[in-house]
Amino acid sequence: MPRLLRLNLPNIPQHVVQRGNNKQACFITDQDRLFYLSRLKQYSHQFRVKIHAYVLMTNHVHLLVTPEIDKGVSLLMQYLGRSYVQYFNKKHKRTGTLWEGRFKASLVDSEVYFLIVSRYIELNPVRANMVNMAEDYRWSSYGTNAFGHNDELISKHPIMLSLGASINEQTSAYRLLFQDIISLPLIDNIRKAVNKSQPLASKEFITHLTELTGHKVCSGTHGGD
């Protein structure tokens, strides 16, 4: 089966997921998580990819990012994945692969879905019954996006900045979004989009992507979700 076309377009957000091979743990200790985040910061700067949201689960990672250059996300994930596997194998005295093949990624229509995907990512530990509330989980961007905690890894997307004139207004408005439940059909659409490498977008945005790329862009996850 041919690989799905991976769309790497500058200045368009992407929801990125990378999973441990055979669902095995890719983070065992806090030191593992700190190392991963340090390399994520390093390579995101090197390859000019802005990080807006993240969560480190036990056996997978979710990122919401925006590349500033073509193939920035692919380069970021390639270098990050390789560096982390070398560290992880040495620290935990193991050999072989850690990740489940290529990372998966979905372009995100920022006007419609950016804030939804950000919430989806930061609510992963809640859906997994690891914590009761997003703020109870240390290894995500929620503290920064919802309370303004300092984190040099996180870059504010214009959609986040539009929530208020000040940081306090932005974070307060962002926290209020978490009072609304993300519907199960919408959660399913987010998962399908990233697993199939299809955009999560409105019909208008799909048309825009088709014009940008010069070929038809498919998506089963648009309109009224």
pLDDT tops 80 at residue 222: no
- Is the pLDDT assigned to residue 2 strictly greater than 70? no
Q: 47: which 2 tokens? A: 């390859």
pLDDT tens track for 119-135: 999 999 999 999 999 99
3-class DSSP assignment, residue 4: coil
Using a pLDDT cut of 70, give the percent of the chain over it.
94
What share of the chain in percent tops pLDDT 90? Answer: 85
Residue 208 has phi, psi (to 5 degrees) of -60, -45
Residue pair 7/107 in contact (Cβ under 8 Å)? The answer is: yes
CA pair distance 141, 151, nearest whole angstrom: 8
Reported as a single tens digit per residue, the pLDDT across 138-147 is 999 999 999 9
Q: How far is it, in rounded angstroms, from Cα 58 to Cα 162?
A: 33
Q: Is the pLDDT of residue 4 over 90?
A: no
Cα 219 to Cα 206: distance, rounded to the nearest angstrom: 7
Q: Cα–Cα distance between 127 and 109 in angstroms, integer? A: 24
* Per-residue confidence (pLDDT) for residue 101, from 0 to 100: 87
The sheet carrying 14-19 orders its strands as: 49-56, 60-67, 14-19, 104-107
Q: Rounded to two decimals, what is the model's pTM?
A: 0.93
